[in-house]
Amino acid sequence: MLKLLLPAILSINLFANQIELSGTVISDNEKIITSRNMGYIKEVYVNEGSSVKKGDILYEIDSSNIDSNKKEIELNLQILQNQANNIELNLKRYKNLLAQDLVSLYEVEQMELNLTNTKNMINITKAKLDEIKTQYDYLKIKAPNDGLIIKKSVKAGELSMPAMPAFILTDLSSLLIKSDISEANLNDIKIGQEVDIEISSINFKDKGKISSIIPNTNGMTHSFVIKISFDKKDFNVYPGMYSKVLIDLKK
């Protein structure tokens, strides 16, 4: 009878020295992709679930608005340059007339001032033209890093606004497991502590380490959030996967 009870007692002691928690895989690097410019979306190149590399074009905005603004600035620049050329010709003529006392020094000085102001306007307009040319670089919105598109909020033909969320990109190389632990067990854990993790859907088992312990924003739960870093190796691990976390209380 004693022999039969002994395994049961050992089993109870084993589980008494461990905490089993439910967890969820999350990404530590999740980005909301937006555009800098307003305009209609010309083309969308990826969908939800698409894997992308850094620099891949996600979507493209039509250049019509920038084209029209650029043409307007180029026209203004041409007008100013023509005005400056005319002023320079007249200034040369007025200086000759001044030498003959046919015009006053004041008239020549006013014309020189007008030329200076016009050249300043030319420089300002050139700067505006350079600025608007750089906007073409932002019409093609690219992936800032490798990752997986987990949400898509745009379609071709829709109006894109600055800061309007278009995609959510999650980095699969920076994954964590997030779980809740009771306040009563807080003294049993510490940063850097090794734990056992399991993602049963893909038969993944390995060790992980507690990387952070965070108070829960809902104080009524009397629980804390823990995040666990781990190496996914060659397994296809994705955010949202269910996991188990086993914490050995003796460690």
Q: What is the DSSP letter of 35?
A: B
Range of the domain at 204: 18-29+172-248
pLDDT given for residue 171 in this prediction: 94
Q: Do residue 165 and residue 177 come from a single domain?
A: no
Q: Do residue 177 and residue 144 come from a single domain?
A: no
Last residue of a domain, one of 154, 170, 186: 170
Give the whole-angstrom CA distance, residue 245 versus residue 183.
16
Domain CATH for 203: 2.40.30.170
Q: Do residue 49 and residue 23 come from a single domain?
A: no
3-state helix, strand, coil split of the chain in percent (to 5) is: 40, 35, 25
Q: Do residue 23 and residue 127 come from a single domain?
A: no
pLDDT given for residue 15 in this prediction: 52
Residue 93 lies in a domain: yes
Q: Do residue 57 and residue 99 come from a single domain?
A: no
In 3-state terms, what secondary structure has residue 105? Answer: helix
Residue 114 lies in a domain: yes
pLDDT given for residue 231 in this prediction: 94
Q: C-alpha distances in angstroms, 214 versus 22, 94, 142, 196, 228?
A: 16, 79, 33, 20, 12
pLDDT given for residue 81 in this prediction: 97
Q: Do residue 107 and residue 153 come from a single domain?
A: no
Residue 144 lies in a domain: yes
Q: Do residue 58 and residue 141 come from a single domain?
A: yes
Residue 147 lies in a domain: yes
pLDDT given for residue 181 in this prediction: 92
Domain CATH for 53: 2.40.50.100
Residue 8 lies in a domain: no
Q: Do residue 103 and residue 70 come from a single domain?
A: yes
In 3-state terms, what secondary structure has residue 53? Answer: coil
Last residue of a domain, one of 136, 154, 180: 136
In 3-state terms, what secondary structure has residue 83? Answer: helix
Residue 10 lies in a domain: no
Split into its structural domains, the chain has a count of 3
Overall pTM surpassing 0.75 (yes/no): no
Q: Do residue 78 and residue 122 come from a single domain?
A: yes
Residue 4 lies in a domain: no
Residue 7 lies in a domain: no
pLDDT given for residue 127 in this prediction: 97
Q: Do residue 92 and residue 118 come from a single domain?
A: yes
Last residue of a domain, one of 119, 154, 170: 170
Query: What are the structure tokens assigned to 143, written together?
Result: 């992936």
pLDDT given for residue 2 in this prediction: 41
Per-residue tens of pLDDT for the chain, all 251 residues: 444 443 332 333 345 688 999 999 999 999 999 999 889 999 999 999 999 999 999 999 999 989 999 999 999 999 999 999 999 999 999 899 888 888 889 998 999 999 999 999 999 999 999 999 999 999 999 999 999 999 999 999 999 999 899 999 999 998 999 999 999 888 889 999 999 999 999 999 999 999 999 987 676 778 899 999 999 999 999 999 999 999 987 64
Q: Do residue 55 and residue 83 come from a single domain?
A: no
Q: Do residue 193 and residue 103 come from a single domain?
A: no
Strand partners, 162: 35
At 110, the amino acid letter reads: Q
